[in-house]
Structure 1
């Protein structure tokens, strides 16, 4: 039997993907929380801190979309928890805004900076307070978040809680500021 062609298969004939398509599939796996697929991509050599358009990393995408298993896979493969997108947001800022406590715990255990501010100076604690995520705010305070850090408008998390009339959180932060709260 002789081969009718000595050329290798063409790209279209074997369904190979371009590097851009592979990157898009990798990011989509993070966004959709497909932890097993993410692990396969990472084991095949994809970088856990790959940056997409707007500076999003797979960890930021998986975190923001509430995918605990995907976050865990990325962290186990060396994803850096404090990388910031083009607006300065970290994965922890996204989960503080959304209130995803299990993911926040994973990020903090992986060494995420609790007071990393975005481009306008807002920290994860500020997002938690602004969006009424009291349990998240408590977790961040326990992890050492500063209630007195001021954003670009000169506001602190204490100021934000006061504006919202959140007496319980305000008392907790004021106690922390004085060194009397846990």
Structure 2
């Protein structure tokens, strides 16, 4: 304790205490002093310390040092602490305590999915099953978000947990719509194989096929057509996909659509 230098940068300080074994009482004192010098970064220090004889009582005394407002806005740092403390204590009770202190399990869950840290995801889902279908301010479920971001590993994880592939956001578009909009061919196939409806419509009667056209995602269009999407399905304007492609100047998609035998028959 006496040899610790609290006047160096936070990164230097964390390196200096990495793996340092301290008692719970010493840990509390370190955090107390760190709050004076490093303010909101003080919780990060907890993830670097090796705390012996950690109990809920001692953990509570540590967390009582932080304001509830700070804890609400520090989920990523808390997750680091969770990982470290779980290694030290191997106590579900202790982990439950920490999760309760974060107050924002939905944010922590989404962060764990982004990082592909499914051990934390599993723990949070077991404690809060509703997180699987929890919607954000735009009604995006975790599956829709993962499809928007192209995170195929998270999509596989969520589908194994029986995430609803038909869930819609505030625009009434599904995970498949978002995958098509972003041209994620492998994800399109994965969602379809797990029951996604290729003819589902959004607020503007746009189907996943139309979303391919919006950004001229020709490979995504080829995939959705391969899955037997209707190449003549009209949008709210009454446009066929080919007409929509012409209006949007989606030339690659227009070329594909114009080459289809169904369109030649309909002319």
1:135 to 1:49, Cα distance in 2 relative to 1, 3 A? same
The TM-score, its normalising length taken from structure 1, stands at 0.80
- Which SS does the other structure have where 1:54 is aligned? coil
1:40 to 1:101, Cα distance in 2 relative to 1, 3 A? farther
What are the Cα deviations for residues 10-56 of structure 1, in whole angstroms up to 9, with x where unaligned? 594553436851111112333x2525243443344523222222211
Count residues in correspondence: 170
What's the counterpart of residue 28 of structure 1? 111
Q: Which structure has the highest helix share of the two?
A: 2
Rounded Cα–Cα distance in structure 1 between residues aligned with 2:159 and 2:133 = 10
- Work out whether residues 146 and 154 of structure 2, in 8 Å CA contact, stay in contact via their aligned partners in 1: yes
1:151 to 1:35, Cα distance in 2 relative to 1, 3 A? farther
Which of the pair has the greater relative contact order for Cα pairs under 8 Å at 6+ separation?
Answer: 1
Please say if 1:168 is aligned against 2:251: no
- Which SS does the other structure have where 2:104 is aligned? helix
What's the counterpart of residue 42 of structure 1? 125
Correspondent of 2:169 among 74, 82, 85: 85
Please say if 1:108 is aligned against 2:192: yes
Larger mean Cα displacement after TM superposition, 143-152 or 9-18: 9-18
Please list every run of 5 or more consecutive structure 1 residues that lacks an aligned counterpart in the other structure.
Answer: 1-7
Rounded Cα–Cα distance in structure 1 between residues aligned with 2:262 and 2:147 = 28
Aligned-residue Cα RMSD (Å) equals 2.5
Regions of 4+ moved over 4 Å: 8-11
- Work out whether residues 33 and 67 of structure 1, in 8 Å CA contact, stay in contact via their aligned partners in 2: no
